C-alpha cells in the first residue's frame, strides 16, 4: 500500500493512462485489475470455513447447498463496497476510519482487526498442521516451514508478485471440485435438497449461522481495500474490479458447495451425523468412499491451499490496518528498509505469534471455536463502520442509492444477526 500521506487523486491518476495499453489481456483487465477480489475470496474459503462446510454436509446433506448459493450475493455486496472505497479515495480502511472518526475509533478497529488476523492465522496454521499429519508430518515441521515460506513471500518487493503467488496457491482449492465429481452425488437427491431449508430446526439454523459467520471476516474488508490501493487502481477500472469481486464470490461459494456435496454424498449418506471437527476426521470419513487419492491427497491439497492463501491475506490485512492507523509507510512494492520496517515487523509478528500459539495448543478444535466467536463479536463493528464510510467518505456519485442501498444494508444486517446467533451455542450457553 502506498504511503497514506499521498493525495487520493494523485494515486487514482497513475494507472489510468497505462491500464488499457498493454495488449488484449490488459485491455480486458484480466491481468491489470483482476486479483484482489479473487485472492480475498479464495482466502474466505479458509480452513475453518471448509470444516464448517464439511460439518454441514455430514449433518444436513444437500439441504445445506441452498444457503451457500444465497451467500454469494451477500459476500459480493460487502466486498464491493471496499473496492469503491479503496479506488475512489486512495485510502485503506484503517486510514479512512482515522480520518473520518478520529484515532480512538481507528485504534479500536485496528486492534480488533489484528486480533481477528491472529485468530485467522491460528485457524490456518491448525489446518496446515492437520494436513501435515495426514501424511505423517509433525506440526513441529509443517508449521515452521509454512511460517518461513509466508515470511519470505512478503520480501519479494512487489504486490503483484505476492498476489499472483497467492492465486497460484489458492488454485489448489479446485481439488475440491475434483473430489465432488469423484463422490458421484445423486442429481435427484441434490435437487430435492435445494427445495428444503428447515429453518425451524435449531440445529440446522445454527449451522446456517456458522456458515454465514464464516463468509465475512473482518480482515477481508481491510485486505481488499488495501489491495486495490497497493495495486494503484483508478476509477476507470472499477467495473473490472467489480467483476473480479463477483467472480471470486461465485468461485469461493462453489468450493464451499463442492465440500458440502462431497461429504453429503459420502459420509453424510452412509454415516449421517458423523463428527467432523478436524482435518483428520474429515479425511478419515471420506477415504472409504473416495480412496486415498480423493480422501487424502485431493482433500489435503485443497485444504493446504485454502489455509495458506488465507494466512497470506489475514496477515497482510492485519499489518496494513495497524500501519494505516499509526501512519507507518506500508507497501509490498518496497522491500524492508527504515521507512517500511514497522510494517514488515508487524507482518512477521502476526505469523510468529500464530505459529507459537498453535504449536503450544493441545485442543485445536476449541481454539477454532474461540476464533469463530471472536469474529462474530467483531462483525457489528466492522460492517457498521463499512456502511458509514460508504455513505459519507465517498463523493455522492459513488455512493449507493435507492433499492441497492437498502438491499445492501439489509444483507449486512442479516450477516450480523446470524453471526451473533452462533455465539451462545459456540460458548456452550445453550
Cell numbers given for 346:
508487524
Q: Taking the model in full, what pTM does it have?
A: 0.85
Tens-place pLDDT, residues 145-155: 999 999 998 88
In order, the DSSP letters of 214-260 are TT--HHHHHHHHHHHHHTT--GGGHHHHHHHHHHHHHHHHHHHHHHH
Residue 6: the pLDDT is 43
Cα-based distances in Å from 165 to 35, 123, 140, 191, 343: 11, 21, 25, 37, 20
In this predicted structure, the answer to whether residue 118 has a pLDDT above a threshold of 70 is: yes
**Res 31 pLDDT > 80:** no
Question: 36-263+274-427: CATH homologous superfamily?
Answer: Amino acid/polyamine transporter I (1.20.1740.10)
Do the beta carbons of residue 227 and residue 90 sit within 8 Å? no
* Rounded (10°) angle between helices 36-44 and 299-326: 120
Which residues touch 186 (CB under 8 Å, ≥6 apart)?
265
| CA–CA dist 118, 210 (Å, integer) | 20
Q: What is the DSSP string of 147-216?
A: HHHHHHHGGGS-HHHHHHHHHHHHGGGGHHHHHHHHH---HHHHHHHHT---TTSHHHHHHHHHHHHTT-
State pLDDT tens for residues 319-371: 888 888 888 888 888 888 888 899 999 999 989 988 998 888 756 666 665 67
pLDDT tens by residue, 369-410: 567 667 777 778 888 889 999 999 999 999 999 999 999 999
pLDDT tens, position by position, 145-187: 999 999 998 888 788 888 889 999 999 999 999 999 999 999 9
Residues 294-302 have a mean pLDDT of 91
**pLDDT at residue 128, as a whole number:** 93
**8 Å CB contact between 169 and 308:** yes
**pLDDT reported for residue 381:** 82
Residues 233-238, mean pLDDT to the nearest whole number = 90
Nearest-angstrom CA–CA distance, 330 and 312: 15
How confident is the model at residue 258, as a pLDDT? 95
24 pLDDT band, cuts 50/70/90, is very low
Q: Is the pLDDT of residue 223 over 60?
A: yes
Higher pLDDT pick, 124 / 366: 124
Q: How distant, in Å, are the alpha carbons of 34, 123, 195, 273, 320 from that of 223?
A: 15, 18, 36, 36, 8
Query: Regarding predicted confidence, which is higher, 80 or 26?
Result: 80
pLDDT exceeds 90 at position 257: yes
| Nearest alpha carbon to residue 52 among 37, 39, 71, 80 | 71
Q: Residues of the chain with pLDDT > 90: what percent?
A: 38
Of 143, 167, 191, 117, residue with least CA distance to 349? 117
- In the prediction, which pLDDT does 414 show? 84
Summarize the confidence of residues 282-286 as an average pLDDT. 89
With a cut of 80, say whether residue 97 has pLDDT above it.
yes
What gap in Å lies between CA 349 and CA 154, rounded to an integer? 13
List the chain domain ranges.
Answer: 36-263+274-427
CA dist 131 and 278 (Å) reads 10
Cα separation, 146 vs 351, in Å, equals: 9
What's the pLDDT score for residue 425? 65
| pLDDT beyond 90 at 259 | yes
**Mean pLDDT computed over every residue of the chain:** 84
Which whole-number Å values give the CA distances from 260 to 173, 265, 278, 285, in the listed order? 14, 9, 15, 13
DSSP assignment of 29-89: TTTTT-SHHHHHHHHHS-HHHHHHHHHHHHHHGGGGHHHHHHHHHHHHHHHHHHHHHHHHH
Amino acid at each position: 500500500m502506498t504511503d497514506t500521506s499521498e493525495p487520493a487523486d494523485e494515486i487514482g491518476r497513475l494507472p489510468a493512462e497505462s491500464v488499457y495499453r498493454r495488449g488484449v489481456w490488459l485491455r480486458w483487465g484480466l491481468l491489470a485489475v483482476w486479483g484482489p477480489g479473487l485472492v480475498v475470496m479464495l482466502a474466505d474459503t479458509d480452513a475453518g470455513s471448509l470444516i464448517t462446510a464439511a460439518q454441514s454436509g455430514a449433518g444436513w446433506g444437500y439441504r445445506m447447498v441452498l444457503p451457500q448459493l444465497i451467500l454469494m450475493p451477500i459476500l459480493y455486496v460487502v466486498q464491493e463496497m471496499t473496492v469503491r472505497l479503496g479506488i475512489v479515495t486512495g485510502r485503506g480502511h484503517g486510514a479512512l476510519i482515522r480520518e473520518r472518526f478520529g484515532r480512538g475509533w481507528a485504534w479500536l478497529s485496528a486492534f480488533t482487526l489484528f486480533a481477528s488476523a491472529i485468530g485467522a492465522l491460528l485457524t490456518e496454521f491448525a489446518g496446515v498442521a492437520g494436513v501435515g499429519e495426514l501424511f505423517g508430518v509433525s506440526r513441529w515441521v509443517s508449521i515452521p516451514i509454512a511460517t518461513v515460506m509466508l515470511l519470505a513471500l512478503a520480501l519479494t518487493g512487489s504486490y503483484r508478485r505476492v498476489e499472483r503467488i497467492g492465486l497460484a496457491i489458492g488454485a489448489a482449492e479446485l481439488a475440491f471440485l475434483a473430489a465432488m465429481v469423484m463422490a458421484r452425488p445423486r442429481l435427484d437427491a441434490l435437487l430435492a435438497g435445494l427445495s428444503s431449508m428447515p429453518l425451524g430446526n435449531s440445529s440446522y439454523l445454527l449451522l446456517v449461522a456458522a456458515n454465514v459467520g464464516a463468509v465475512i471476516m473482518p480482515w477481508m474488508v481491510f485486505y481488499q481495500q488495501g489491495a486495490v490501493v497497493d495495486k494503484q487502481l483508478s476509477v476507470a477500472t472499477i467495473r473490472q474490479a467489480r467483476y473480479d469481486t463477483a467472480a471470486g464470490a461465485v468461485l469461493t461459494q462453489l468450493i464451499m458447495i463442492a465440500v458440502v456435496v462431497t461429504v453429503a454424498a459420502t459420509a453424510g449418506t452412509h454415516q449421517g451425523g458423523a463428527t467432523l471437527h478436524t482435518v483428520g476426521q474429515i479425511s478419515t470419513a471420506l477415504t472409504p468412499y473416495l480412496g486415498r487419492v480423493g480422501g487424502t491427497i485431493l482433500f489435503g491439497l485443497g485444504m493446504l491451499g485454502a489455509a495458506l492463501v488465507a494466512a497470506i491475506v489475514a496477515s497482510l490485512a492485519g499489518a496494513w490496518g495497524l500501519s494505516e492507523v499509526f501512519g507507518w509507510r506500508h507497501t509490498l512494492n518496497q522491500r524492508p528498509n527504515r521507512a517500511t520496517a514497522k510494517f514488515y515487523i508487524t507482518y512477521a509478528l502476526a505469523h510468529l505469534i500464530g505459529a507459537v500459539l498453535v504449536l503450544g495448543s493441545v485442543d485445536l478444535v476449541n481454539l477454532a471455536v474461540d476464533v469463530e466467536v471472536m469474529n462474530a463479536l467483531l462483525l457489528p463493528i466492522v460492517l457498521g463502520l463499512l456502511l458509514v464510510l460508504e455513505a459519507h467518505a465517498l463523493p455522492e456519485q459513488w455512493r449507493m442509492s435507492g433499492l441497492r442501498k437498502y438491499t445492501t444494508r439489509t444483507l449486512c444486517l442479516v450477516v450480523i444477526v446470524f453471526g451473533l446467533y452462533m455465539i451462545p451455542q459456540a460458548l456452550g450457553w445453550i
